[in-house]
Amino acid sequence: MTDTQLDVRRDFVTAPYELVSRQHRPGRSTVTVGGVPFGPGTVTLVAGPCAVETPEQTLDAALMARTAGAAMLRGGAYKPRSSPYSFHGLGEDGLKILSEVRTETGLPFVTEVLDTRDVDLVASHADMLQIGTRNMQNFSLLRAAGATGLPVLLKRGMTATIEEWLLAAEYIAEQGNLNIVLCERGIRTFETATRNTLDISAVPVVQRLTHLPVIVDPSHSGGRRDLVFPLSRAAIAVGTDGLIVDLHPRPADALCDGPQALEPRDMAELAGMMREVPLLAGRLVAAGPDIEGSRR
């Protein structure tokens, strides 16, 4: 047995989850959503508006996503908002818009479900159910989403430890559904310069503890458009299985999360990043001092 195998076994001895652990499946799993793979060997780009607002806005956002090379669309029809006075999404009308846009663009979509009462309706439209940070420990919702058999995107609770996150995934798995993709979306820390702090170490830690794929949300982590590319590059460098990125045809008019949404003019950079992503982002490794001429 190699050291790594031994370490994985040790992790399991203390791990309280089972089905999502590496012990249950020693290799890394690929989860397929509407023909799109999430797993080892690929970096999958999911992109779209934070919220579905109108048919035109959603179609324009989907076309932007496709221009950038995204394999899948994101968009909220049910929005969890900190304030009861904010826009809470179009509900079923939003799901219908997403379904129409899928027909027009061919992009499968992921959308959030907030309430057990809506699970069947959302599942009848969506290719993948999203459980957001605020609901990561809504255990009845986890069970209901798991029971649909649809793939589930499980975002990390903003104050959840990695162990709590994997236990939440176990609730879905325990329903006989291992089509789970984890999403690191930033955690609450003392720092106020960013909306949340992207826990970049969560990616390799989680990939070692579980066979499930893990993607990164650079938009909700930083909460700032200017941080989306740097955080995306960091996530790819550290081995993320994918990215989920907010974009909007007119971020200034967005009803939700405009300040973090990429704009149409950013699509070429997003496409370019997904094509090559040089680890050093075009920089050169600094040369050391000239040893020949130096006094030792």
Q: Which is nearer to ligand PEP, 15 or 247 (CB)?
A: 247
Task: Decide: is 220 part of the binding site for ligand PEP (CB under 6 A).
Answer: yes
Task: Decide: is 50 part of the binding site for ligand PEP (CB under 6 A).
Answer: yes
Beta-bridge partner residues of 243: 45, 216
Q: How far is the CB of 71 from ligand PEP (least distance, A)?
A: 17
- 74 closest CA partner among 36, 26, 40: 36
Q: How far is the CB of 202 from ligand PEP (least distance, A)?
A: 13
- 185 neighbors 220 (Cβ within 8 angstroms): yes
- 64 closest CA partner among 211, 269, 206, 280: 269
Q: How far is the CB of 4 from ligand PEP (least distance, A)?
A: 31
Please state, in angstroms and rounded to a whole number, the distance separating the CA atoms of residues 151 and 32: 8
Task: Decide: is 185 part of the binding site for ligand PEP (CB under 6 A).
Answer: yes
Q: Which of 155, 211, 225, 248 binds ligand PEP (CB under 6 A)?
A: 155
Please state, in angstroms and rounded to a whole number, the distance separating the CA atoms of residues 97 and 295: 70
- 75 neighbors 109 (Cβ within 8 angstroms): yes
Q: How far is the CB of 145 from Mn ion (least distance, A)?
A: 19
Tokens read off for 283: 């920089």
DSSP strand pairing (31-33 vs 214-216):
unpaired
Task: Decide: is 248 part of the binding site for ligand PEP (CB under 6 A).
Answer: no
Cβ contacts of residue 230 below 8 Å, gap of 6+?
A: none
Size of the site for ligand PEP (CB under 6 A): 10
Q: Which is nearer to Mn ion, 226 or 292 (CB)?
A: 226
The residue assigned the tokens 């159910």 is 129
185 binds, among ligand PEP, Mn ion, none (CB under 5 to 8 A by kind): ligand PEP
Q: Which of 118, 127, 257, 266 binds Mn ion (CB under 5 A)?
A: 257
Q: How far is the CB of 157 from ligand PEP (least distance, A)?
A: 9
Q: How far is the CB of 113 from ligand PEP (least distance, A)?
A: 11
- 20 neighbors 220 (Cβ within 8 angstroms): no
- 251 neighbors 224 (Cβ within 8 angstroms): no
Q: Which is nearer to Mn ion, 127 or 257 (CB)?
A: 257
Residues of this chain that interact with Mn ion (CB under 5 A) are 50, 257
Residues that bind ligand PEP (CB under 6 A): 50, 76, 80, 112, 132-133, 155, 185, 217, 220
